Amino acid sequence: MVTTGTYYDGISSIPQKVALILDEDNYLLSFNSSSGNTDQWGIGDISFNHIGNYLEIQFGHAPIEFIKIEDGDFITALKKLRKEKGHYNWYERLIDLGIKAHATIALLILGFISLIYLFVIPLVAENAVVLIPESYDNNLGNTFFNEYIEYNAVDSSKTKALNLFAKQLKLNNSKELKFTVIKSSTVNAFALPDGNIVIFTGLIDLMEDKNELVGLIGHEVTHVNQRHSMKMMCRNLSGYLFLSAVLSDVNGIMAIIGDNVHTLQSLTYSRQFERQADMEGIEIMVSNKVNPKGMSKLFERLQTQDDHLLPEFLSSHPITEERINYIKQIVKENANKELENDKLKDLFLQIKTNIN
């Protein structure tokens, strides 16, 4: 087979048109250079560079001689011959698959990345939390608490009563819990990883029964017991690192899209944790012989608040119909005999009472 190629000797910039002969039997490419000599290149020693439907072949090192070929039939014949000789490498095969196969590969990789991101990373990250010493949780929570307290007014008598109230309960806690009541009309409560639990008077004013308070405590204590803050941090960080690592290899734009997907995803994480806190909170109520209905009551009260101002701690995980429904379901399954507990009742009254 014969075609015309453009030959460069690697010394001058002058193009030379050459008649290029493909010698299939001897696996050679031969051509006549301007000096009149016949050059022969062993095809196995040539390096091939396909760019679309254009081929550039290089031979030698110093100088690098090369020939450019644009004849499609010749390129195909050369390809076929190299395939027969086993010189067609895996990279060229992958590139030759065509756009449909490439698009499929892209989707498969994306699917694979999603699977790892959704199932493997959170699992690994949560289990890795065991490796982080509890002292880290304590430092983190403590630092935050001290700064927070500085700018907020503590109700000391209610705080004292609340701590006594909590002492009456079995809370399955592994670390010491410390309760604080903050004077604020905000309907809010939160738990810090070091066992500090903060409740606002705005939320206490809303409650009408001690069972509701036990429900709230059960919920917040579960966040501490399960190290939810730390798990959240590990999940978020590892998910973020994973996505940006695999996507920025493709391009910066996909990395940005990945970031946004991740932000949405972390909201789902926090919903999962809220659900777990609801469930175990109810278990705590049951084990303390308190009517678990208090939990659903509390959430119904909070739901009516939604219209006015969305409480901070609910904004990322609002009280939806769905949440109320599954809580009611679990409450029904766990209905137990309520044991009257005068001490709790008493303390609850103290917590509710406003001294000034």
Partner 1 sequence: MEDFTNESSKNYKLSFHGSGSSYFGVIIVNWLLIVVTLGLYYPWAKAKQLHYLYGSTALNEERFSFHGTGKEMFKGFIKAVIIFAAIYGLLLLFMYLQMPIIGILVFYACILAIIPFAIHGSYRYRMSRTSWRGIRFGYRGDQKELSISFFKWTFFTIISFGLYSSWLSINLRNYLIGNIRLGSLQFKSDGDGGSYFWLNVKGYFLTLFTLGIYMFWWQKDIFAYYIDNLSVHQDDKEIRMTSTATGGDFFGLLVVNMLIIIFTLGIGYAWVVTRTMDFIVSKIELTGDIDLDTINQTEANFTDATGEDVSDVLDLGFIN
User: Nearer Cβ to partner 1, position 10 or 318?
Assistant: 10
Of 210, 212, 146, 133, nearest to 178 by C-alpha is: 146
Residues in the chain, how many? 356
Q: In what order do the strands lie in the sheet with 196-200?
A: 178-182, 196-200, 189-191
User: Nearer Cβ to partner 1, position 12 or 356?
Assistant: 12
The owner of tokens 């010698």 is 23
User: Nearer Cβ to partner 1, position 157 or 265?
Assistant: 265
CB of 18 to partner 1, least distance (A): 14
User: Nearer Cβ to partner 1, position 49 or 263?
Assistant: 49
CB of 117 to partner 1, least distance (A): 13
CB of 10 to partner 1, least distance (A): 4
Is residue 197 a contact partner of residue 146, using CB atoms and an 8 Å limit?
no
User: Nearer Cβ to partner 1, position 57 or 177?
Assistant: 57
As a whole number of angstroms, the distance between CA 62 and CA 201 comes to 83
Sort 165 into a burial class: Cβ within 10 Å, 0-12 / 13-18 / 19+: buried
CB of 263 to partner 1, least distance (A): 16
Q: Which residues are near partner 1 by CB under 8 A? A: 6, 8-15, 49, 51-52, 54, 56, 58, 62-66, 68, 91, 94-95, 97-99, 102-103, 105-106, 109, 112-113, 245-246, 249-251, 253-254, 257
Which tokens is 108 given?
Answer: 């498969």
Is residue 196 a contact partner of residue 180, using CB atoms and an 8 Å limit?
yes
Amino acid, res. 307: D
User: Nearer Cβ to partner 1, position 265 or 334?
Assistant: 265
As a whole number of angstroms, the distance between CA 54 and CA 119 comes to 44
Amino acid, res. 82: R
Long-range contacts of 122-130 (CB under 8 A, 24+ apart): 122/235, 122/239, 122/269, 124/238, 125/231, 125/234, 125/235, 125/237, 125/238, 125/239, 126/231, 126/234, 126/235, 128/234, 128/238, 129/227, 129/230, 129/231, 129/234
Long-range contacts of 90-96 (CB under 8 A, 24+ apart): 92/48, 92/50, 95/50
Judged by DSSP in three states, 166 sits in helix
CB of 57 to partner 1, least distance (A): 11
CB of 102 to partner 1, least distance (A): 4
User: Nearer Cβ to partner 1, position 97 or 237?
Assistant: 97
User: Nearer Cβ to partner 1, position 1 or 105?
Assistant: 105
Is residue 70 a contact partner of residue 3, using CB atoms and an 8 Å limit?
no
User: Nearer Cβ to partner 1, position 66 or 348?
Assistant: 66
As a whole number of angstroms, the distance between CA 127 and CA 140 comes to 19
CB of 147 to partner 1, least distance (A): 21
Rg (CA), the chain: 36
User: Nearer Cβ to partner 1, position 258 or 294?
Assistant: 258
Is residue 32 a contact partner of residue 26, using CB atoms and an 8 Å limit?
no
CB of 101 to partner 1, least distance (A): 9
CB of 233 to partner 1, least distance (A): 21
